[in-house]
Chain A
């Protein structure tokens, strides 16, 4: 899994490539959550994400809860396989997917 964070002012763009699963989720969480401090606009780009398991969903949920308090969060370039997971778990109801 590759994670890239790009800060521009209060906007943070995060790209994640590969598998977001039990093995890789801790690294994603350690990088993402502290980086949200002061962020008002969070963009998560999942263009190169192959799949997400519940361990990854937990971090998406945590991020959304944090961003609801301090700004906005959008998820971009979601592949059909990933969208299906968001749909199945009801995450589509509270995520902003573009």
Chain B
């Protein structure tokens, strides 16, 4: 199943609901579901903010069960500017409060909580694939 939707911040809830609906019946734990919700929030909002500059484009989200790995594979695609969110250096999470900023923390959480995260740019499409054991 997939969902193609305008890449706007207001649509983040709809993306999360769509994925949650797909997760129903897969036996997903609450912990895994919460982590997936956070990951979707981070990844979809990244597309909204950076993929299309000032313009508006679309993103396609698809969900696929991977029973042999007891996992779910979620793919986010956009046809915006090539951007690999995984290429950035992880933030230093040991800094003092006054030195801390929020930059990069979202993607860092995605990398920490998801089983596997991959990025590919091909034929004008950014594809971010997340595998999560449920």
Residues of A within 8 A of B (CB): 19, 21-23, 50-55, 57-58, 61, 64-65, 68, 81, 85, 88-90, 93-94
Contact = CB atoms under 8 A, between A and B. Distances in A.
Q: B9, B31, B34, B37 — which one has the most chain A CB atoms within 10 A of its CB? A: B34
Mostly helix, strand, loop or mixed at chain B's interface?
helix
Contact of A85 (B38, B44, B45, B100): B38
Interface residues of B, number: 28
Contact of B37 (A51, A55, A65): A51
Contacts of A61: 97, 100, 102
Given A23-B9, A90-B94, A93-B94, A57 B105 contact: yes
Interface stretch (B54-62, B64-72, B81-89, B106-114): B106-114
Contacts of B112: 88
